[in-house]
Amino acid sequence: MKTLLLICAGLLFLGLIDLPIGFYTLLRIVVTIGSVAVVVTEFENGINFWVITFGLIAILFNPLIPVYLNDKSAWMPIDIIGGIIFVIKSSHLNKK
């Protein structure tokens, strides 16, 4: 799971540069899978901060009903914050 979270974070940080649209589709798919994986594993402990946070990330990045902000500059802070959240969750898994 830690590897998946770090891959998601890396893709989000890589998404800050100008890349072809196919990359952003891949980013949406991988980030959604990573977010849902965290939600499923954390939901065993009930609804907590991680379930809500990664549930919102999964909704925002889902590839089936995409959220279009129509401007890359609007996505940049979201990508940075999302990447940081994935790194924090990944480091939190080491402590357990």
Domain ranges of the chain: 2-95
**Predicted local confidence at residue 96, as pLDDT:** 56
Q: Torsion angle, CA of 53/55/60/63, rounded to 10 degrees?
A: 150
**Predicted local confidence at residue 46, as pLDDT:** 87
**Predicted local confidence at residue 95, as pLDDT:** 67
**Predicted local confidence at residue 76, as pLDDT:** 93
Parts of the chain with a pLDDT under 70: 94-96
Distance, in Å, from the CA atom of 60 to the CA atom of 66, rounded to the nearest integer, reads 7
**Predicted local confidence at residue 88, as pLDDT:** 95
* Residue 6 buriedness (CB in 10 A; 0-12 / 13-18 / 19+): middle
**0.75 cut: is pTM over it?**
yes
